[in-house]
């Protein structure tokens, strides 16, 4: 892994517990909490608050809210929601001298994007050209895809500012749906060359119960042992993701203390030289 970026929320719950890791790696992912019905959020307020606590930041991923904020849902409302967001991020990236990623999940297939959103994506990418900004697309399992549609979409677009956030827990869910183990499913779902080229970051966690229910308390949790962690990391490395950023996207039992994410980060650090 290239680096480890802790994950916090836009309310900054427990940020002081994670501060030393944010300062160490100079990067963070912020899960935006659901604020406005129009699917917009104020990046400026969030980033300035972050900087008041962690002033060494070099890269930030802003992850759009979880419910009803998928890329296609936002675009069905109004493309200007994203354009306005990107306009604010362009200014912030320049003013703060940081790299900013705007992350959306999408449930659509690449075929659906070809029909409905391709021109809009090109417009967004043209708008941020030359700025230190990327749009990240996160894979989903809800479309029951057998091949990673966001990787295929990035390959189709061929733009260096459109990348993938690969969520490992969603791959586990898909493998379970198709009744395959991960070693069987990964060659079907992923292409190593595409992963090396387009995966910017990985949402890393353990998913022992792959029932497709994202809100199951056993979905996306801390790895119980180093053995399971090494197995997952070796699987990702086999597909070329040793140069990707790893984000411990962990369901916490206590978001104020952040003990689960801290455990995951420290275990990831402990096997850094073991898994190559």
The pLDDT of residue 60 is 97
The pLDDT of residue 83 is 94
The pLDDT of residue 217 is 66
CATH of the domain at 249: 3.20.20.150
Q: Which two tokens stand for residue 23?
A: 């300062």
Residues with Cβ within 8 Å of residue 171, at least 6 apart in sequence? 139, 141, 182, 185, 186, 189
81 in a domain, yes or no? Answer: yes
At 103, the pLDDT band (50, 70, 90 cuts) reads very high
276 in a domain, yes or no? Answer: no
At 37, the pLDDT band (50, 70, 90 cuts) reads low
Distance, in Å, from the CA atom of 58 to the CA atom of 26, rounded to the nearest integer, reads: 5
Question: What is the pTM assigned to this prediction?
Answer: 0.94
At 254, the pLDDT band (50, 70, 90 cuts) reads very high
Question: Residue 187's closest CA among 233, 145, 146?
Answer: 146
The pLDDT of residue 198 is 98
pLDDT at 30 over 90: yes
- CA angle at residue 209 from 203 to 211, to 5 degrees? 95
The pLDDT of residue 11 is 92
The structural domain count of the chain equals 1
275 in a domain, yes or no? Answer: no
Strand order in the sheet with 3-4: 3-4, 245-248, 199-204, 162-167, 133-138, 99-105, 59-63, 27-31, 7-9
Residue 222 burial (C-beta neighbours within 10 Å; 0-12, 13-18, 19+):
buried
141 in a domain, yes or no? Answer: yes
Q: Across the chain, how many H-helices and E-strands are there?
A: 12, 9
Domain that holds residue 219: 3-270
51 in a domain, yes or no? Answer: yes
At 18, the pLDDT band (50, 70, 90 cuts) reads very high
128-168 residue pLDDT tens: 999 999 999 999 877 678 899 999 999 999 999 999 999 99
The pLDDT of residue 35 is 61
167-212 residue pLDDT tens: 999 998 888 888 899 999 999 999 999 999 999 999 999 987 665 5
42-96 residue pLDDT tens: 678 899 999 999 999 999 999 988 767 889 988 888 899 899 999 999 999 999 9
């Amino acid at each position: 892994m290239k680096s480890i970026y802790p994950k916090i929320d836009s309310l900054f719950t427990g940020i002081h517990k994670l501060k030393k890791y944010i300062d160490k790696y100079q990067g963070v992912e912020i899960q935006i909490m659901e604020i406005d019905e129009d699917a917009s959020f104020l990046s400026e307020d969030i980033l300035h608050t972050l900087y008041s606590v962690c002033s060494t930041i070099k890269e930030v991923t802003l992850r759009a809210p979880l419910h009803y904020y998928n890329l296609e849902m936002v675009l069905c409302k109004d493309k200007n929601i994203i354009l306005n967001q990107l306009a604010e991020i362009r200014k912030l990236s320049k003013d703060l001298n940081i790299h900013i990623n705007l992350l959306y999940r999408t449930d659509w297939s690449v075929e659906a994007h070809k029909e409905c959103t391709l021109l809009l994506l090109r417009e967004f990418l043209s708008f941020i050209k030359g700025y230190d900004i990327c749009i990240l697309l996160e894979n989903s399992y809800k479309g029951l895809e057998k091949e990673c549609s966001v990787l295929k979409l990035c390959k189709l677009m061929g733009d260096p500012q459109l990348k993938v956030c690969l969520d490992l827990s969603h791959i586990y869910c898909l493998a379970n749906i198709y009744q395959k183990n991960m070693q069987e499913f990964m060659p079907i779902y992923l292409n190593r060359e595409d992963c090396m080229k387009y995966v910017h970051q990985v949402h890393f966690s353990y998913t022992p119960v792959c029932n497709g229910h994202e809100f199951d308390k056993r979905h996306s949790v801390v790895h119980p042992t180093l053995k399971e962690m090494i197995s997952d990391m070796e699987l990702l490395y086999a597909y070329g993701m040793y140069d990707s950023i790893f984000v411990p996207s962990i369901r916490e039992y206590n978001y104020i203390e952040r003990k689960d994410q801290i455990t995951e980060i420290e275990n990831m650090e402990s096997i850094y030289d073991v898994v190559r």
